[in-house]
Structure 1
Amino acid sequence: MDTQQNTALMRALAEVPGPLPARGVIHIAIPHTERFTVVGNHLAQHTALSATALGVAVRIQSLPRGTEVGVKALASRFPEGEKLIAAALRELEAHGYLQRTVVRLPNGRIATRTVYCNHPEALLHPRAAPTPQLPPASRQPRTQAQQAQAPVPVPVPDPAPTALPDPAPTPLPVPGPLSAPLPVPEPPTQPATEPTARLVPPPTAPKAPPRPLPRPRELTPELRRTAAALLTDLRRHTHELTLTEDAVERLTPAMAAWLEREAHPDAIRHALTTDLPQPVNHPAQFVRHRLTALLPPPLPGAQETTPVRAALIIPMQNCDGCERGFRARTPGLCRACRTNHEQTAA
């Protein structure tokens, strides 16, 4: 069965003026009269936003005010899951299109207020109001015939002044039909304020390179054999850490670094198999991360653990006169016996 073609689209393509490009997109622009949304090229051609974020932004921009645009509400309308929708909303927040704040309602409940801006760059660089100008025909000098046919303006009395609630600015003089337009003062332009630095980097920020795998100072055949056996034996303790031969070969130097630092095999198994995420989608990458992030420091040597100065201990001695115990470096008399002996001798 032949593929059906859209004949209406082919007729519209035949009516496109000008030569058609040999490749690329060809636009058939039909003016909208109802149910349309104006989307700027700054959003439609954004180089940092994903396709999901662009679709979510256009969807939010086309909805009326007060429509729920939470993650669950948008996920019910799109085939993408809640994770992709939440990531798209975070992208829009990072680039200034969306702002979500938690507010307390008058009844005491907590709600999320979502503010969407269709052109956030215009908020940072406001444009000055254009100066109104008269059409070119009004600035040309009139001929005598045109002045004779022109109606004579009839003065109209000013209406009675009414009380205004707020003081109005001083009105400018109204120009006559032949006078030049008066310049309108432009509003003072404020310097564009730089956006505050984000404490949390956006999802599109470049990530730091991963840390290299630890390696031992010398990978001996015995150390390699023991490290490979420990990696292969992990599946006996948890089936979620079943590694392939290539993964064991890549991770053997990192395991050897642990063994070189005198880590006990039971301690290594406990560090690798405790608090596993559910599920473990990539066992090799998970083991690589823990071998790198939880690497213990080398054990200190005997000289590093020896105290700098040994404590001075004076031994106990028995007094030769009263047989009482006292501390002294050499045997002899205690203080009381020495005092009595000196007084007797004197």
Structure 2
Amino acid sequence: MDTSQNTALLRALTELPGPLPARGVIHIAIRHTDRFTVVGNDLAQHPGLSTTAVGFAVRIQSLPQGTEVGIKALAARFPEGEKLIAAALRELEAHGYLQRARTRLPNGRIVTRTVFCNQPTALLRPRAAAAPPQLPPVARPITTPAPAPEPTVKPEASPEPDPQPEPQSQSQPTPDPVATPDPPAPRAAPPQAAAPPQDRAPAAPPFVRLMPPPTAPKPPRPPLPRPRELTPELERISTALLSDLRHHAPQFTLSEEHVRELVPGVAAWLERDAHPDTIRHTLTTNAPEPVNYPYQFVKHRLTVLLPPPLPGAHDLTPPAARRNPVTPFQTCDGCERAFRAPAPGHCRDCRNEVAYTQAAA
């Protein structure tokens, strides 16, 4: 297989919710936290702009304020030529995304000022965006008609202002027909206070990162295996095996320093009774083309594919079968019937009969 597979991307595909389309593009959207630029679909999918023009528009939009965006400045920054850049800028200027005007500085120098707009169609309707913010305050005056019934109730209580204070101080049942308890009823503000929790209910779910960020710390790599004791014989065989790899696969040409560093790993394999041909086959089979870093590749395989130590003779011995003691057969002295018992004697029926006779006597 010549095509390399991105395992992180394949793992992210399995975490996408819902069924995936059978064909076409599949988006894995990871929210940016720094160094990003918002690009609208009106620019990214503009039917009248070429792909080159859209690409330069995105690049210009991502540059900070005050950056030179002339033809020569862009040609020095990006690999495209000046003719291609000039044609792309003319397209952007024709569709209103870019405007270039010559202005004279106070010192008399004439310069070209470039203005870029990410959404030129929005400049034609600046007042449309200001109308929606005025709509929410209009809904509040609707609550003012509620207290309107209060003045209608007050005229009825006005002819009796003096006699009412006395019964109110004595007992509360008499003021029931009076409209004094009515004002709390129209001031029913609790439904308005309960509305915000309903608005907060459909809150957006928190963002869940599917893959760790590129700057996340990576776990440390496992160390190269080492034998319990690096004997001269193991060191000699390991050095010869590593030096001879280039005869079987030229891409595994190791330097002398790398051979010395990898000797303990090969010695650990030999200590576990791995044959040199087996080690050579494991290190050189199914290798990528080309092997850019043979030292790292050999070190990785010596570490990850280390076989377990061979079991000893006692480990391969099957466990002894557990033998349960078998109670032998005996012949009853009374009825000659066979029964199981550790010693000769009478069977259960005979013993019960003797016990019953003795009890009756």
Normalised-by-shorter TM-score class: 0.3 to 0.5
TM-score, normalisation: structure 2:
0.38
The structure with the greater share of residues assigned to helix is 2
When the two structures are superposed, what TM-score results if normalisation uses the length of structure 1?
Answer: 0.40
